[in-house]
Amino acid sequence: MKIMVAIKRVVDYAVKIRVKPDKTGVVTQNVKMSMNPFCEIALEEALRIREAGLASEVVAVSMGSSHSVDTLRTGLAMGADRGIHVEYSASLYPLSVAKILRKLIEIEKPGLLILGKQAIDDDCNQTGQMIAGLLNWPQATFASKVVLDKEKQVATVDREVDDGIETVCLNLPAVITTDLRLNQPRYATLPNIMKAKSKPIKKFTPEELNVEIKSDLEIVQVTEPPKRKAGVIVSSVDELFDKLKHEANVI
């Protein structure tokens, strides 16, 4: 079985972002970019499944500008066997990403597609669910544990839901999106980074895949959230208690 993993290049999670003065978006020039943390977890899970002998190959896919190739290389250095890059310079919304993924899945025919539960830039939390819907595959979102049964061709997945953990069982092929607690992603070692340079990356454009990118959303503006007024540092528990009781009236 082949596993496909979708990875996204985003502004590094530790960067304090700045909104552009013209309100068209967020400054991404000269800002540290990294693989989306949830995508790292997705890739790690695929690698572990392969290492357990339950999958033969892990294919990493990324879409976006030519810089996305760097992110793919990181994925290859972690251990993915090969990469696919779909080049598109403008921003892609989840619906388009899902449509491109559908085409790639028709070509590659993986038995499992793993994605992060959300990208930390747009915070959409949509792509996995949408591709599952387009393919009519079952989905398990927010996974914190995945157990594959190769014989029965099913995946049993623990999902992090609002009030605890829910367990579902899916027939393969299926779509899984990862939550933070699924695993601890590995670091790419230097020898593996070197090796990754010779791993193949296939290139496509949306036109070649016959996917029409049309968007039904437009960004009107991006603004900073309202600032909170400055707070005070109190010197003792007594003062804190007093302020909460008589100034803020919350206890």
Residue among 53 and 231 whose Cβ is closer to another protein? 231
Tell me whether residue 86 is exposed, middle or buried, using C-beta atoms within 10 angstroms of its C-beta: 0 to 12, 13 to 18, 19 or more: buried
Q: Quick check: 220 and 76 in contact, CB under 8 A?
A: no
CA distance 174 to 92: 23
Nearest to 99 by CA among 216, 209, 217: 209
**Residue 90 found at the interface with another protein (CB under 8 A):** no
| Contacts with another protein, 158-197, as mask; x by CB under 8 A | -xxxxxxxxxxxxx--x----xxx----------------
Nearest to 49 by CA among 164, 143, 163: 143
CB of 97 to another protein, least distance (A): 11
Out of 64, 79, 83, 94, point to the residue binding another protein (CB under 8 A). 94
Which one of 43-51, 81-89, 138-146, 192-200 is the stretch in contact with another protein (CB under 8 A)? 138-146
Out of 197, 210, 226, 246, point to the residue binding another protein (CB under 8 A). 226
Out of 34, 36, 74, 126, point to the residue binding another protein (CB under 8 A). 126
CB of 12 to another protein, least distance (A): 11
Long-range CB contacts for residues 129-133, cutoff 8 Å, separation at least 24: 129/175, 129/177, 130/94, 130/95, 130/97, 130/98, 131/97, 131/98, 131/101, 131/102, 131/105, 131/175, 132/174, 132/175, 133/98
The residue to which tokens 């496909």 are assigned: 4
Which one of 42-50, 186-194, 201-209, 218-226 is the stretch in contact with another protein (CB under 8 A)? 218-226
**Residue 118 found at the interface with another protein (CB under 8 A):** yes
Q: Segment 23-42, which members bind another protein (CB under 8 A)?
A: 26, 38
Residue among 190 and 237 whose Cβ is closer to another protein? 237
Residue among 25 and 189 whose Cβ is closer to another protein? 25
CA distance 13 to 37: 8
Out of 35, 76, 132, 148, point to the residue binding another protein (CB under 8 A). 132
